[in-house]
Amino acid sequence: MLRGVVFSFFLSLFVSSALLAAPAPRPVHPRAEEYRWLYESLFADTDLNLFPSESFISFFVHLYDSDEFMPSPELISADKLRQVSRITGTMGYVNGVIKKRYIYDIETSSEIVFHVRVHFKDPVGEDVENFRRKVAAAQNIWNASKVVTNFSYRFEFEVVSSAEEAHYSVNVMDKTRGPYDMNWGRDWSPTTIAHELGHMMGIADEYQTLSGFQDCLKTSLMCSSSNGKLMAHHYYFILRRLVVR
């Protein structure tokens, strides 16, 4: 009897501690239900039915964007594209509370190229070459998982030698969590860099940024920066910016 009471006491203590440690549920974006049709379209081939709350979070965090144009995915077509050379805006960062800038170029010839240039401040030793290799690998990650469209497009990420020609100029640190536009870590993997480059193109964190709590879809790269994968909605939220308004 006494053993059962002691066990129950420690179990309740553990549960209470876990509840105190877990971040409060985040508020749903005010227009999320308005775009449920878009969510269901973009997540139709994912874990939508297995993890509905997690996948919905991984969707609506991207609505915290200064570009509020959300066309039907079917409109992302060659005959609907506009001519634009640079994309700029702000995305929701830290659970949508902070607005963080994104900027990248669009180059058009035989195909559309999404081009991001990164400069490293005061690198030492093999820093530049190491990051160049990892950025190239991150580029391959973005190009390997592209959604199918009736036009050709690709992603090109470049390490450049001067801040003047870069979209972003960042510090090099041994270890860091970022933010993406200020500090990069020498210990980052190509997958983590692919996640950070997503931010540079206006794709927000899906996990709770301050705590690191993952209440989002674990298979998504923007939820799990070290081992997630790029998904259809990541490409949609970039490609939609090319559609004629």
Pairing label, strands 112-121, 168-173: parallel
Q: Are 120 and 184 in contact (CB under 8 A)?
A: yes
The pTM (predicted TM-score) of the whole model is 0.89
Structural domain containing residue 181 = 79-219+232-245
Q: How many domains does the chain have?
A: 1
214 in a structural domain: yes
pLDDT per residue as tens digits for the range 66-120: 999 999 999 999 999 999 999 999 999 887 789 999 999 999 988 999 999 999 9
1 in a structural domain: no
Q: What is the mean pLDDT of the chain?
A: 90
51 in a structural domain: no
pLDDT per residue as tens digits for the range 152-196: 999 999 999 999 999 999 999 999 999 999 999 999 999 999 999
142 in a structural domain: yes
10 in a structural domain: no
153 in a structural domain: yes
DSSP symbols for 138-153: HHHHHHHTPPP-SS-E
Residue corresponding to tokens 């709770």:
208
115 in a structural domain: yes
Helices 127-144, 190-200: inter-axial angle, 10-degree rounding: 70
139 in a structural domain: yes
